[in-house]
């Protein structure tokens, strides 16, 4: 194999804006001639960046899916790429858009129609990680011992991803964004529910119809930025804080440096306030962040991308390539939205049957809906050294607990961190040639992740996207 080119798309439907990017990936076997093949993405090229448009809504609770679809197919035409040419990528719905009534329908409908293998994602933690990748912060952290927080601030949320040595060590999401207060004709037109909750203890809270220049608008912004500063300094312990979306910060090291991305960041670094056209608090929020005293104690770093960080991450940073020594039944691919369950093993594990039986029962409890069993992937993250007898015993255990439920719709799906996929997959098929099997390796996942597995590429590998599908509510 010399090289192989595949195409990727990223689509970000945010609170304020929607944008798209089309990229190409170059794949190559980077192992030596006498070594086991190892296919890697050696080059990523952005072929087309869409304009940033205002996210279209039918009303305040319903996204205009038809207009978004028209926008996407127009971008494919401009990129001179057909949707059927797309092998991988992601559509992500972010911020307040993920709370809309038809959010789930929008991402799945567009993902099914806008690309051969375009996956649907949602969930604030993943948004923060994708933005950190797209902003270049994750890559930047690989070369530093500093604990760096990437804060992606759009129209509705601030998604924080904290990293060190190129690994994400924690996340947190806040209701902090440019569109949480909107204006029309110099008066307040709307106030988001989280800010209404924030002002419940105020003696005189803001209301729709108040003047855009009202001093309480600045007070609201100060509270938002103050909360962000407390989170970054590890000083927030209130699980019920009105601006907290989901869990409290889950990193355990003090933050050294901060990077901002998202639409508000374009005001911070580039003096390019795209928020102005939206008649909201975005520009004031950026100015408050810049001068906030508690934030000045951090080292400020610059991102590679600001407003386009999430869409760049979705289009260029979400795809992983499986190992080349895999065993897959091509007829059952592609697979989408497969939940993962980590089947823990260690060096002392010899009773494969009990371990696999327990994992399958727990996965069934987690992922099955009523009596309908759903496909899931068993993830073997810490396989000890396996002798031939061990491999055979493990495969017998897998077949005993999964073979009876197998069909083209529910194949046996195994993900392995180390290079055992081909031997395990082939052994399972040698024992029982009738079961469809997907056995891939060199992929790192966790319980609660979802994976999408694309069709086999000419090089014999499959593209894999690891994601979450946690749609959040207001």
Helices marked H in 325-420: 352-367, 388-402
Q: pTM for the complete prediction?
A: 0.79
Per-residue pLDDT of the chain (474 residues; tens, 9 = 90+): 578 898 999 999 988 899 999 999 998 877 666 566 677 888 889 999 999 999 999 998 899 999 999 999 999 999 999 998 988 888 888 878 888 888 888 888 888 888 766 676 667 787 888 899 999 999 999 988 999 999 999 999 999 999 999 888 899 999 999 999 999 999 999 999 999 999 998 999 999 999 999 999 999 999 999 999 999 999 999 999 999 998 999 999 999 999 999 989 988 986 655 444 568 999 999 999 999 999 999 999 999 999 888 888 878 777 788 877 788 888 888 888 888 888 877 666 568 888 899 988 888 877 765 556 678 899 988 777 888 898 999 999 999 998 887 777 788 999 988 888 889 999 999 999 888 999 998 888 877 678 888 889 888 888 988 875 544 444
Show the tokens assigned to 146: 């500093």
Q: What is the pLDDT of residue 2?
A: 78
Query: Measured between alpha carbons, how far is 114 from 415 in angstroms, rounded to an integer?
Result: 27
Biggest alpha carbon–alpha carbon distance for the chain: 76
The answer to whether the CB of 26 falls within 8 A of the CB of 41 is yes
Question: Residue 1: what pLDDT?
Answer: 55
Token digits of residue 368: 């099955």
Instruction: Write phi, then psi, for 169 (nearest 5 degrees).
Output: -110, 0
C-alpha radius of gyration, the chain, whole number: 24
Instruction: Map out the domains of the chain with their CATH numbers.
Output: 4-122+313-319 (3.30.420.40), 136-304 (3.30.420.40), 325-458 (3.90.190)
Instruction: Identify which of 409, 465, 471, 447 has the alpha carbon closest to the alpha carbon of residue 119.
Output: 465
d(CA 288, CA 301): 17
Calculate the alpha carbon distances from 13 to 95, 97, 302, 414 in Å.
Answer: 9, 7, 24, 32
User: Which two structure tokens, joined as six digits, stand for 92?
Assistant: 């992500």
Q: What is the pLDDT of residue 33?
A: 64
Q: Give me the pLDDT at residue 120, please.
A: 67
SS3 286: helix
Distances (CA, A) of 409 to 230, 336, 363, 372, 453: 48, 11, 17, 12, 14
The residues near 385 (Cβ < 8 Å, ≥ 6 apart) are none
């Amino acid at each position: 194999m010399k090289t192989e080119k595949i195409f990727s798309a990223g689509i970000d439907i945010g609170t304020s804006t929607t944008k798209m990017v089309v990229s190409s990936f170059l794949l190559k076997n980077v192992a030596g001639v006498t070594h086991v093949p190892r296919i890697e993405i050696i080059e990523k090229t952005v072929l087309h960046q869409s304009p940033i448009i205002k996210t279209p809504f039918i009303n305040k609770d319903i996204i205009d899916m038809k207009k978004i679809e028209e926008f996407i197919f127009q971008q494919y035409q401009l990129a001179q790429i057909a949707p059927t040419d797309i092998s991988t990528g992601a559509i992500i719905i972010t911020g307040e858009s993920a709370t809309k009534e038809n959010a789930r329908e929008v991402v799945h409908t567009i993902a099914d129609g806008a690309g051969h293998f375009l996956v649907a994602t949602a969930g604030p933690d993943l948004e923060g990680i994708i933005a950190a990748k797209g902003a270049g912060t994750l890559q930047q952290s690989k070369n530093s011992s500093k604990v760096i927080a990437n804060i992606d601030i759009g129209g509705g949320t601030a998604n924080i991803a904290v990293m060190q040595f190129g690994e994400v060590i924690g996340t947190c999401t806040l209701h902090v964004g440019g569109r949480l207060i909107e204006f029309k004709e110099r008066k307040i037109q709307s106030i988001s529910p989280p800010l209404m909750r924030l002002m419940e203890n105020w003696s005189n809270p803001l209301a729709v119809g108040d003047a855009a220049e009202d001093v309480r608008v600045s007070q609201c912004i100060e509270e938002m930025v103050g909360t962000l500063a407390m989170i970054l300094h590890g000083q927030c312990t209130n699980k019920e804080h009105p601006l907290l979306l989901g869990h409290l910060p889950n990193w355990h090291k003090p933050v050294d440096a901060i990077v901002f991305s998202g639409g508000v960041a374009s005001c911070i670094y580039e003096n390019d306030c795209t928020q102005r056209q939206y008649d909201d608090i975005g520009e004031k929020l950026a100015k408050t962040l810049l001068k906030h005293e508690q934030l000045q104690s951090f080292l400020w770093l610059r991102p590679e991308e600001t407003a386009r960080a999430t869409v760049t991450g979705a289009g260029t940073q979400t795809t992983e390539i499986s190992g080349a020594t895999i065993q897959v039944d091509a007829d059952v691919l592609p697979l989408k939205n497969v939940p993962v369950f980590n089947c823990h093993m260690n060096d002392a594990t010899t009773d494969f049957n009990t371990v696999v039986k327990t994992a399958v029962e727990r996965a069934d409890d987690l992922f099955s809906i009523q009596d309908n069993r759903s496909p899931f992937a068993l993830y073997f993250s810490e396989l000890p050294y396996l002798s031939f007898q061990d491999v055979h015993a493990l495969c017998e255990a897998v077949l005993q607990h999964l073979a009876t439920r197998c069909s083209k719709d529910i194949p046996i799906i195994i993900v392995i961190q180390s290079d055992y996929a081909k031997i395990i997959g082939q052994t399972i098929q040698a024992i029982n040639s009738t079961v469809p099997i997907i056995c891939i390796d060199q992929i790192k996942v966790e319980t609660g992740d979802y994976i999408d597995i694309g069709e086999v590429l000419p090089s014999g590998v499959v593209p894999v996207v690891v994601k979450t599908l946690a749609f959040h509510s207001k």
